[in-house]
Structure 1
Amino acid sequence: MIPARYGPVLFSLILSGVMSLLVSGISTFRAVPVDQGFLGLWAGAWLTGWLLAFPAVMLAAPLTRKLVTLLTVRDSNGSGHG
């Protein structure tokens, strides 16, 4: 198993991979007919997108956590942020 200290990096790797796979698939599907090399084009678009998405998620995640903390209030049962 992977040590817990690598959790944030693994989270970013998986999240960026899944999101870039979905977005590139939808974009490629809208731009190119499926019978004209769709899978190869999608794979190329996904890998390119993932190379950019992974560092973007690594940078955006801490800022997003801070923003969520600022925008949320503590629930009446004591859970939550704020």
Structure 2
Amino acid sequence: MNMPEVNRARRRLPAHYASIVTPFVLSVIMTFVVSAISTLKSLGFSPEFTSTWPQAWGLSWLVAFPTLLLVLPLVRRIVRLIVEHP
């Protein structure tokens, strides 16, 4: 019995969502790394690290994502002033 062919193409968000998705992904990755380094520096490799780090990451992400949404347009303008246009 042949199974129906699964559509391999993934659905994508429309392009106008890029202004939300970009800071979302950036904030997730950056807070992941920075909170891990900060928590590791404070606690070292200890049992407290694994319980403290996710909380630190969550809190830092809650601050970072809205901040990026507000600041990113200004950052783009500053970059346009600094970087030569193609």
Provide TM-score, normalisation by structure 2. Answer: 0.80
Aligned runs of 1:1-82 on 2, under 5 Å?
1-74=12-85, 79=86
Deviates more, 1:31-40 or 1:4-13: 31-40
RMSD, aligned α-carbons: 1.1
Greater length-normalized contact order (CA 8 Å, ≥ 6 residues apart): 2
Query: Runs of 4 or more off by more than 2 Å in structure 1?
Result: none
Of structures 1 and 2, the larger Rg is shown by: 2
* Aligned counterparts of 1:35 and 1:29: Cα–Cα separation in 2: 9
The size of the alignment, in residue pairs, is 75
Structure 2: which 5+ runs fail to align? 1-11
Report the CA distance between 1:35 and its aligned residue: 2.0
Report the CA distance between 1:33 and its aligned residue: 2.6
Provide TM-score, normalisation by structure 1. Answer: 0.84
Report the CA distance between 1:55 and its aligned residue: 0.7
**Cα-to-partner distance string for 1:16-66 (whole Å, 9 max, x where unaligned):** 010011000000000003223212211000000000000111111110110
Structure 1: which 5+ runs fail to align? none
Aligned-residue sequence identity (percent) comes to 35
* Aligned counterparts of 2:21 and 2:83: Cα–Cα separation in 1: 26
* Aligned counterparts of 1:10 and 1:73: Cα–Cα separation in 2: 26
